[in-house]
Structure 1
Amino acid sequence: MKQSLLKKMLLYFSAVLLLFSLAIGIVFSLLFARHSQEVHQEEMQKRAMALAAAIPAMEEATKILQAEDERYTAAGSQPTEMVPGRRHGHHGRMMMHQGWCRRQYSEPNDNAAAFFQQLNELGEGDVWLVSAGSRMIRSYGAEKEDILTDLPPEAEELIADVLQGEAAQSRAFSPLLGTPAITVAAPIYQNGQISGAVLLHHPLKNMEEAQWQGIRLLGLSLLLALLLTAALALILARHFTRPLLRMQQTARAFASGDLTARTGIRQQDEIGQLAADLDTLGAELEQSRTERQDFLTAISHELRTPLTVLRGTLELLWQDLTSTPEQKSRCQKQAMSSLTTLERLVGDLLELTRLQNPGFTLHIEKLNVTEAFQDAIRQVQIIAAAKQIEIAADFSAPMLIEGDYGRLRQLLVILLDNAVKFSPEKTAITVEQQLLPTGWQVSVTDQGCGIPPEELPHIFDRFHSRQGRENRQGTGLGLAIAQEIAQHHGLQLTCESELGQGSKFIIRAE
């Protein structure tokens, strides 16, 4: 059981952590990629603007570009057809198309090629210069021939925007570069006028490599965190299941008959409460077993005495050992008395068992308990008259309750019968009513011998009976039955007594 629960907890923890890690990884990857591109584009834009600001200050570069413009203008300022691969001296290869001409400088000894190569190094990418006046695009070609046909519409828009003085960025030049790339553009100002623009291209694969490095670092971090968390989850799961294992062992001890076993768990949570309930269950089971053993011992003792007397009497009669009719009559009376005691004992046992049965139901009705108690007094007065005992009752107000009329009458009969039994002749028993702020109480007071203090806590136990001439025929179950009836009605039955001063039984309803 423990291993299964432990595995389930680890599985749940791992699943939650894995899903959380995947969610974090996906969100981080998207945000990191977007942030990386934004940062990279900002850096590219800054480099492009720095190059655009620095180029007019380079006198040598300006002379080279002006010379190239003059050469292009001399060759024809508005080219309308494409002449692929047409060479113009040692300066490079010229491709003309629909109003734009791109020139690539590739020979290392060429001053223009060296200049563009330096621009690429400063810009950390592929730098193109766009001339507004001659409509030329110049770049370092690295001895690579690249013939253009038409610029993509988005590329045309980017060049138009930057020549209007707006910094721009786009990915429209990717087909021309042969790889996915980002292009940023910055205008070149000379004498307050826009003379051209700087186009800085950077392949996306370089940014993707940086992004993958970040993602790999995140993945390793998440994997390490997952392993550490799994180890911590294992420790926590063991800490969680350890009390459950102890409770399981305690329950198995109960099943094997060891009701003294306890969990020993002291936690201020649901598991601690469950362990406390299990310990309480063990204590109650142990108490029930002790009570059952005491009950069997007591009932065996109570049955043995009348059965022994009855057997001895019957043996005398069977063996005809009685010599006179008086002895025979005395034996018959003794046998009848023993049978009466057995009958009363068995009846009380059945009554108590019935009351303690969880399925026992009362005939509940709304009634005035005063009527039931007055009926009980009339029933006991016949017994009290034999000892010349007066029962004085004072019921000045009705006492309404929902209960069983017969059982409530039986409750007071038991208390009155007990009071008559232990009261001397020619005394009085007082039944007094008292109304309380939240209910009422009825007390039965006698002038008997009282109850010793050490016996007072046990008078409602089964088979607890006082020894003496007054209680020769008592079964020790009367007060236990009375307590059960009181509890079934939600009443409190208590006793106050002093040895030699009489006893007072109190029925309280709140």
Structure 2
Amino acid sequence: MIPFSDSLFKKLWLTVTAAILITVLYSYFLSYLFYEKLYVDIVEESLLEEGNRLASDYTGGAVTDELKQQVEWYNEKSESEVFLVSNPKELSACLPYSIDYETLIGKEERDQLLKGEPVLKSGFEERFGRKILAVAIPLLDNSRLEGIIYLYVPLAKISELTVDFSFLWLVGGVLFIIIAAFLGFKMLHRLTRPLAAMKQAADKVSGGDYSARVDIDSNDEIGQLAKAFNHMSESVQKEDEKKREFLADVSHELRTPISYIKGYSEAMETGMIKDPDEKNKYLKLINRESVRMVKIVEDLLDLSRLDADEYRLIKHPFPLSQHIDDFIVKYGPALKEKNIGLSLDLDPDVIINGDEGRMEQIFQNIIDNSIRYTKKGGTISIILTKHADGCKVEIADTGIGIPKEDIAKLTERFYRVNKARSRADGGTGLGLAIVDKLVKLHNGKMEIESSLGKGTSVKLYFPIVE
């Protein structure tokens, strides 16, 4: 079992939890900034409106005592502090904290006031322990600065304005994080559980237990991964079974000729056989079994190269009818020995692009089987014609035939309809497996039809050169 500290589940859960925590904190601070900005804007706008309303009572000329009294009366009623001065320098005497006049109303601010524009000032004042927001409204008479209405207000801290809101936000945020972390834990546990199951199944497969499967019903990516894993495991299991069966068949196939050779050679070596005719008979048997062993090894090497994709065809165009004519000549003695008739009907116009050596190997394996399983006095026919798929080569015999249930298995390695008879006749059980692969390498296909007691027909289809 994977330690929790190294598990994907922990990493995902910590990532999700951290993302939730960062999101909550970010939302809080963002709302904090937005709310403070909104509050400052409202206070600023309120001060400007107050100042402009007071300034609207000024009708020109020097600032009168009556207007100053009016502003003082308003100051007592207003939440903000309001002063009316004739000279900006008087502000330092009106404000309840020390101030540098040049800092408060400098040259740029004075020029701004002379243009009739209000001046906004803000800064932290230690006496109040908070930020101060101030507005200076100019009173102009023919571009002459006759006075200034000065309003200021200490800004409330955001924590003072939102103490209840902050408390609720904090409680709600903590609860949200706890609930989200719990739900994330459950969700991620459910999400990663199939991965843990696949990991355990993979360990079993790597240990040789190919029957391991993952039981997942979902159709998401993890479910598809589980299906792919099960398919892979099933394929590996089948391949392992085929490998075991193949090794068993190889050992069984080689055991028989080896035991014959060993037994006959020991009999001759110990002098048990003294009759020259018997010795010759045993020598022929030893030679026959050694030939069978060589044939099995050669076929196995061919199949190994075909399976490993190491078989390279050397293709070129050639007339298939001429190739069959030249090839079939070497079977004359074998056909004559069993009194088997041969019928050829070959279209000379058929040209294919193929490897002549491998094409001969294809026909040789099929003809060998036809001769092997056709009784004396039978016939073998080879017909080459053009076809919709290119061309068709049909090799038919009047042999013993094959049961229908065995036809589909003929291209399997070492498969025999009658194992005892095949071994006696010298077959390896690999010929048709090689034929099937070589035909496919030529972009062709093979069909086998047979009836017990009537014979077998092998049809080969190849593309042709137009």
| Equivalent residue number for residue 367 of structure 1 | 316
1:42 and 2:34 are equivalent in the alignment: no
1:119 and 2:119 are equivalent in the alignment: no
Of 149-158 and 122-131, more deviation after overlay is shown by 149-158
Counterparts of 1:104-183 in structure 2, within 5 Å, are 116=72, 119-120=74-75, 122-130=77-85, 152-153=105-106, 156-157=110-111, 160=114, 164=116, 168-171=118-121, 180-183=131-134
- Alignment deviations for residues 70-106 of structure 1 (CA, whole Å, 9 cap, x no partner): xxxxxxxxxxxxxxxxxxxxxxxxxxxxxxxxx9xxx
Question: Which of 324, 327, 330 is the matching residue for 1:376?
Answer: 327
Counterparts of 1:209-288 in structure 2, within 5 Å, are 210=161, 225-288=176-239
For 1:223 and 1:405, how far apart are their aligned partners in 2?
81
| Equivalent residue number for residue 11 of structure 2 | 8
Task: From the superposition, tell whether residues 187 and 215 of structure 1 become closer, same or farther in structure 2 (CA, over 3 Å).
Answer: farther
For 2:97 and 2:361, how far apart are their aligned partners in 1?
120
- Alignment deviations for residues 127-182 of structure 1 (CA, whole Å, 9 cap, x no partner): 22356xx999799979x697986661355456545xx5x6x350079899987422
| Equivalent residue number for residue 451 of structure 2 | 498
Task: From the superposition, tell whether residues 406 and 262 of structure 1 become closer, same or farther in structure 2 (CA, over 3 Å).
Answer: same
| Equivalent residue number for residue 344 of structure 1 | 292
AA at the equivalent of 1:238: H
For 2:165 and 2:323, how far apart are their aligned partners in 1?
89
Query: How many positions carry a matched residue from both structures?
Result: 442
**Paired residues of 1:2 and 1:245 also in contact (CA < 8 A):** no
Task: From the superposition, tell whether residues 300 and 127 of structure 1 become closer, same or farther in structure 2 (CA, over 3 Å).
Answer: same
**Paired residues of 2:414 and 2:429 also in contact (CA < 8 A):** yes
Query: How many angstroms does 1:507 deviate by?
Result: 2.8
Query: How many angstroms does 1:224 deviate by?
Result: 5.5
Q: CA RMSD in A?
A: 4.5
For 2:221 and 2:442, how far apart are their aligned partners in 1?
33
Secondary structure of 1:458's aligned partner: coil
Query: How many angstroms does 1:2 deviate by?
Result: 7.0
| Equivalent residue number for residue 433 of structure 2 | 480
1:356 and 2:322 are equivalent in the alignment: no
For 1:261 and 1:126, how far apart are their aligned partners in 2?
83
- Which ranges of structure 1 fall in alignment gaps of 5 or more residues? 57-64, 70-102, 104-111
Task: From the superposition, tell whether residues 228 and 359 of structure 1 become closer, same or farther in structure 2 (CA, over 3 Å).
Answer: same
For 1:122 and 1:443, how far apart are their aligned partners in 2?
117
- Name the TM-score, length of structure 1 as normaliser: 0.69
AA at the equivalent of 1:457: A
AA at the equivalent of 2:120: S
Task: From the superposition, tell whether residues 156 and 296 of structure 1 become closer, same or farther in structure 2 (CA, over 3 Å).
Answer: closer
Of 146-155 and 491-500, more deviation after overlay is shown by 146-155
Query: How many angstroms does 1:418 deviate by?
Result: 1.2
Query: How many angstroms does 1:462 deviate by?
Result: 1.9
For 1:147 and 1:316, how far apart are their aligned partners in 2?
129
AA at the equivalent of 1:455: D
AA at the equivalent of 1:430: I
- Alignment deviations for residues 341-395 of structure 1 (CA, whole Å, 9 cap, x no partner): 3431342234224422455633432313626555433343443343332141424
Task: From the superposition, tell whether residues 45 and 508 of structure 1 become closer, same or farther in structure 2 (CA, over 3 Å).
Answer: farther
Counterparts of 1:68-87 in structure 2, within 5 Å, are none
| Equivalent residue number for residue 302 of structure 1 | 253
**Paired residues of 1:451 and 1:503 also in contact (CA < 8 A):** yes
| Equivalent residue number for residue 342 of structure 2 | 390
- Which ranges of structure 2 fall in alignment gaps of 5 or more residues? none
For 2:97 and 2:239, how far apart are their aligned partners in 1?
103
- Name the TM-score, length of structure 2 as normaliser: 0.75
AA at the equivalent of 2:346: D
Secondary structure of 2:240's aligned partner: helix
Task: From the superposition, tell whether residues 334 and 146 of structure 1 become closer, same or farther in structure 2 (CA, over 3 Å).
Answer: closer
1:410 and 2:413 are equivalent in the alignment: no
The percentage of aligned residue pairs carrying the same residue is 24
For 1:227 and 1:444, how far apart are their aligned partners in 2?
79
Of 360-369 and 147-156, more deviation after overlay is shown by 147-156
1:453 and 2:453 are equivalent in the alignment: no
Question: Which of 381, 400, 405 is the matching residue for 1:429?
Answer: 381
**Paired residues of 2:133 and 2:152 also in contact (CA < 8 A):** yes
Query: How many angstroms does 1:200 deviate by?
Result: 2.5
For 2:99 and 2:10, how far apart are their aligned partners in 1?
66
For 1:174 and 1:246, how far apart are their aligned partners in 2?
62
Task: From the superposition, tell whether residues 2 and 446 of structure 1 become closer, same or farther in structure 2 (CA, over 3 Å).
Answer: farther
Secondary structure of 2:315's aligned partner: strand
| Equivalent residue number for residue 95 of structure 1 | none
Query: How many angstroms does 1:283 deviate by?
Result: 1.9
For 2:123 and 2:222, how far apart are their aligned partners in 1?
67
Query: How many angstroms does 1:338 deviate by?
Result: 4.7
Query: How many angstroms does 1:499 deviate by?
Result: 2.8
Query: How many angstroms does 1:413 deviate by?
Result: 0.9
**Paired residues of 1:32 and 1:211 also in contact (CA < 8 A):** no
For 1:215 and 1:155, how far apart are their aligned partners in 2?
38
